[in-house]
Amino acid sequence: MANPKSAYSIPTKKGKPDTHIIVVWVDNESGVLARVVGLFSGRGYNIESLAVAEIDAAKNISRITIVTTGTPQVIDQIKLQLKKLVPVHKVADFKREDKKVIFKEMALLKVVGKKKKIEKCIKACKTYNPVILDKSSKSVVIQITALRREIDKMSKKLKSLGLISTSRTGAIAMTRGADVFK
Amino acid sequence: MSKLYSGAEIVFKCLEDRDVKFIFGYPGGAVLPIYDELKNHSSIKHILVRHEQGAGHAAEGYARSSGKPGIVLVTSGPGATNVVTALTDAYMDSVPLICISGQVPTHLIGTDAFQECDTTGITRPCTKHNWLVKDIKDLPKILHEAFEVATTGRPGPVLVDIPKDIQFAKTNYSKPKKIKKVNGKSHNKFTQNDINELINLISKAKKPMIYTGGGVINSGPKASEALREFVRLIGFPITSTLQGLGAFPGDDNQFIGMLGMHGTYEANNAMHDCDLLINIGARFDDRITGKIDEFSPKSKKVHIDIDPSSINKIIKVDLAIVGDVNEVLRSTIKKINQKQNGIKVSNKQKISKWWEQIQKWREKDSLGFINSDKTIKPQHAVKRLYELTKSQDTFITTEVGQHQMWAAQHYKFNKPNRWMTSGGLGTMGYGLPAAVGVQIAHPDKLVIDIAGEASVLMTMQEMSTAVQYNLPIKIFVLNNQYMGMVRQWQELLHEKNYSESYSEALPDFVKLAEAYGCKGIKASNPEELDEKIKEMIDHKGPVIFDCQVDPNENCFPMIPSGKPHNQMILGPNDKEENKITGKGKALV
C-alpha cells in the first residue's frame, strides 16, 4: 500500500512467522494452566499443541510444553509475558528445526478390521516404535511415538486400513547431550 | 503454642503490619466476618463508597497521589464484578491495588450459590496475580505475597479471594519476612555497559529528545528529582506522556509539552525529527506513536523500563535498559559527572541548532484557541482554574474525554503525584471517586476533579461518600452537553452525524449538589468565571461546579488516525487543515 491510512490497521510484520516450542516450568497449583493459556488467547497468540504434567512432586513443579507460531517479535513477547506470571519459574524456547533438541509426540491408534489389514497396519508403524497395547480378533490399539508430521502421515495412511480412532498428545521436548534447558 | 487467629483477624494483622491506614470498600454477605473485625482495629479507617467501582478508583487515586498501595474490600459476586473496571484501569496504568474479595464458603464453590461468581477467573486477565484461599494456613503467606507482587517491579493490582468459612477458620499468624524475590523475578538487570552506551549516545546526539512516562512517577518522587537533575545536566528537550505529567516541571523552558494524539506541535515534530530518543518509563502507547512505520524514523532509540516485556513490544529499540528509573538515572548522572565537563559543555553547543528549530515550532502556539467574551471556552476555563490554584499545592483528577486533554494541555504540573487520570483504559467516571481517594490521602490539600458532564454522571453517586466523610473535593464540570470527544470524532470523521452523543436530559447540577448535601455553583459567562472559581476554592466542603462551556469546541492540536507525528491538525486558524479520509475513519 502506497499510503496506508491508519496507525492501527496495518500490522507491522517484522520477520516471517516460525514454529517454536516453548517450555515453561511452573508451580503446580490450581489455575496455573488457565493463566498460561489465558495469556495466549488474551494476547492473540496461537497454541498448536500443549502438553502439561507434574515433573517434580517434592518441589511441586509442572512442565508445560507449548508449540506456537509467531514472528520473532511475537515469540519474544510470549516469553517475556510468560516470565511475568508469578507461578512461572523459567521459560525456554527453541525452533522446531533445532538439532540440539528432541521432541516427540505420542499417538494411540485403534484399527478395526480383518487380521490381514491389522497386520499391515502394525507393519506400517514399524519405524515409529510401535507397541501393541491391546489386541482382539477384530481390532488392535497401537501406540507410536514420532514427530507431529509423521503421525499426521500415519493417520492418513492407516485410514484405508481400518483406523477408526486416534488419540494424540502434544509435543514434549528434551535437549540432546548433557545440557539442560536454561 | 502460639495464639490462633481467625482469617478475618489475619487480614487486619497483615494490613497493620503493612501500615495500611485506609480501606475503600462496601460490605456484603460474604465479607461480613471481616467487617465484624473492623471495630477491633482503630488504626485502620474504612471508607464506605456507594458502588464498588468507586472503591477501586478511590483506591487508585489514593495510591497514585501517595505512593502507597490502595486497599479495596468487596463482597462476592456483584461486589467483585463491579470492581473489575477499576482493576483493569489499575492494571493498564500500573497502579498498586490490593483487592480483598469475599467468596461463598468453600463447600459451596462451584454450585452456583447465591452471590457466587468465579472471581479469580474473571479477574485473572486484569490483575498481576490473584489467589483463591482454599486453606486458612495459606492466608498469611498469600496476603504478604499480595503486597509484594502489587508494589514491586511494575506495580499493579492483585486480588485475594477469601471464602467466608476461611474468614472464620483459625490459624497461626507470622509477620511478613524480608523480601524474597517471587520465583526469582528481579527488576534491575542493567549493567554499567548499558549506562556507558547511553552516555555515548547522549554525547553524539545533535537532535535529542527525552520522552518520559508514568514509570517516572511510579519510581517515586526521588526519580522525578533524578530526572530533573539529568535533564538539566544534559540540556535536552523533554516531553511527557499523559501519565508522566508532573515528573518534570510543566512551566520549565526545557519542557516542550505533552506529546501524542493531542500533544503540542513542537513535541510531536521533535519526536519525528530527532536523532536520539530516550524513552524513560513510557511504553510507546498507540496514542503516542501514531503511525508505527513513520514513528520517529531517523532516531536511535533508548528505552529505560522496569518491565522487560515493554521493550521491543511495539517499537524496536537500539538500547534497552531494564531497571528502576531512579536507579538508572542516578547511575547515569554519576557517570556523567565523573567524566567532568566534557559532555556538559560540548553537548549543549551541539544541540543549539536543534533548540532553535524547536523554538520555531513553538511559535506556532499549537495550544492556542480563539477566546470569546460571550461563551466560556473550555480551554479558557482550565487556564483560569490553573491561574487561580497554582499558588497552592493542588491535586487534579480527571474523567475521560476532551476535558481530560484540555486539562493535560493547559494545567501545568510542577510536582509528581499531583495528576491522576485514566490513561490506558480511558475510564469515564474515574475522576470523581479518584478525587475521593486523593482527598483521603491529603486531607488538607485542594483536590479538583476536572470533569465532563457525561463522564461524571457515571460515578456521581460517590458525591454521597464525599459528603459523608466531609471531603472538600471540587468537581469542576466542563459542561458542553455532549460526549465531547465522541462529538469531535463524529464531526471530523462521520460527516457531523452526531449519533447519540448529545445528552438531552441532563440534571441541574446545582440542585444535584444540593440534593447530595453539598454546594452547587454555576457559571455560564466568562465575566463571572474567576469570581465563581474563587468561590469554589474558598468553600470548605465539597462542591459541584457547573461550568457551562461552548458545546462546539474541539480539542486541538490533533494527530488524526493514520498520520505520522509531523502531520497534525492544528486549531481553527490553521489553513492547511488535514482531512481524515478512507481507512483512518474505521479505526478511531
pLDDT digits (tens, 9 = 90+) for B252-264: 999 999 999 999 9
What are the b/e assignments for B212-225, b being 16+ CB within 10 Å?
A: bbbbbbbbbeebbe
Q: Identify all chain B residues contacting A6, using CB atoms and an 8 Å cutoff.
A: 291, 561-562, 583-584, 586-587
Reported as a pLDDT band with limits 50, 70 and 90, residue B578 is: very low
Contacts of B290 in chain A (CB under 8 A): 7
Q: Which residue in this structure is represented by grid cell 489455575?
A: A31
Interface of A with B in 85-124 (CB under 8 A): 85-89
pTM (2 d.p.): 0.93
CA dist., res. B396 & res. B413, Å (int): 9
B370 interface with A at CB cutoff 8 Å: no
Question: Using 50, 70 and 90 to split pLDDT, how confident is the model at B347?
Answer: confident
Distance, in Å, from the CA atom of B171 to the CA atom of B157, rounded to the nearest integer, reads 27
Residues of B in contact with A88 (CB under 8 A): 183
Per-residue pLDDT band at A5 (split at 50, 70, 90): very low
Distance CA B330, CA B340 (A): 16
Nearest CA-CA partner of B436 in B413, B469, B477 = B469
Helix (H, G, I), strand (E, B) or coil at A6: coil
Min mean pLDDT across B459-463, B500-504, B531-535 is at B500-504
* Beta carbons of B584 and A6 less than 8 Å apart: yes
Note whether A83 contacts B182, CB cutoff 8 Å: no
Residues 119-148 of B with CB under 8 A from A: 120-121, 124-125, 128-129, 132, 134, 145
As a whole-number percent, the residues of chain A with pLDDT over 70 amount to 92
Q: Is A42 on the interface with B (CB under 8 A)?
A: yes
| CB-based contact A68:A47 (threshold 8 Å) | yes
The answer to whether the Cβ–Cβ distance between B586 and A42 falls below 8 Å is no
Distance from CA of A35 to the nearest CA of B (A): 7
The DSSP code sequence of B501-568 is -B-SS---HHHHHHHHTSEEEEE-SHHHHHHHHHHHHH-SS-EEEEEEB-TT----SB--TT--TT--
Looking only at the bridges linking them, the beta strands covering B5-6 and A131-135 are unpaired
CA–CA min distance B203, chain A (Å)? 30
Counting DSSP H helices and E strands in chain B, the numbers are: 24, 20
CA distance A154 to B274: 58
Task: Note whether B31 and B75 are within 8 A (CB).
Answer: yes
Cis peptide before B157 (omega within 30 of 0): no
Sort B503 into a burial class: Cβ within 10 Å, 0-12 / 13-18 / 19+.
middle
Mean pLDDT of B490-500: 90
Q: Which residue does chain A place closest to B158, by CA atoms? A: A86
Q: Which residues lie closer than 8 Å to B266 by C-beta, 6 or more apart?
A: B256, B257, B358, B361, B362, B364, B366
What residue has cell string 505533552? B258
pLDDT band per the 50, 70, 90 thresholds, residue B492:
confident
A–B: how many Cβ contacts below 8 A? 81
Q: What is the pLDDT of residue A19?
A: 93
- As annotated, the active-site residues of B are 52, 114-115, 164, 485
B312, B315, B558, B563: best to mutate for the A interface, most A CBs within 10 A = B312
What is the pLDDT averaged over residues B138-160? 96
Among B478, B491, B502, smallest CA distance to B560 is for: B491
Element (H, E) at B120: helix B119-123
Average per-residue pLDDT for chain B: 93
Q: Give mean pLDDT, residues B120-124.
A: 97
Query: Cell numbers of B201, please?
Result: 549516545
Helix H or strand E encompassing A26: strand A18-27
Interface contact A41, partner B, CB < 8 A = no
State the DSSP H helix or E strand holding residue A49, giving kind and residue range, or none if neither. strand A49-56
pLDDT higher than threshold 70 for residue A107: yes
Residue B566, judged by CB atoms within 10 A of its CB (0-12, 13-18, 19+), counts as middle
Q: Rounded mean pLDDT of B145-155? A: 96
Strand B97-103 relative to strand B45-48: parallel, antiparallel, unpaired? Answer: unpaired
Of B173, B136, B126, B213, the C-alpha closest to B1 is B173
Residue B114 φ/ψ, nearest 5 degrees: -60, 130
E strand map for B77-194: 97-103, 129-132, 157-163, 170-171
Could you tell me the three cell numbers for B69? Answer: 498501595
Q: Please judge whether B583 and A87 are an interchain contact, meaning their C-beta atoms are less than 8 angstroms apart.
A: no
Q: Would you state the cell numbers that stand for residue A21, as one nine-digit string?
A: 516450542
Nearest beta carbon to residue A7 from set B134, B292, B311: B292
Between the alpha carbon of residue B141 and those of residues B61, B159, B547, the distances in Å are 27, 14, 50
Q: Does B307 touch chain A (CB under 8 A)?
A: yes
Tell me if chain B has a CB within 8 Å of the CB of A33: no
| A52 CA: distance to closest CA in chain B (Å) | 19
pLDDT of residue B576: 45
B 81-120 residues with CB < 8 A to A: 120
On whether the CB atoms of residues B329 and B226 are closer than 8 A, the answer is: yes
Residues of A in contact with B309 (CB under 8 A): 77, 80-81, 83-84
In one-letter notation, the amino acid at residue B488 is Q
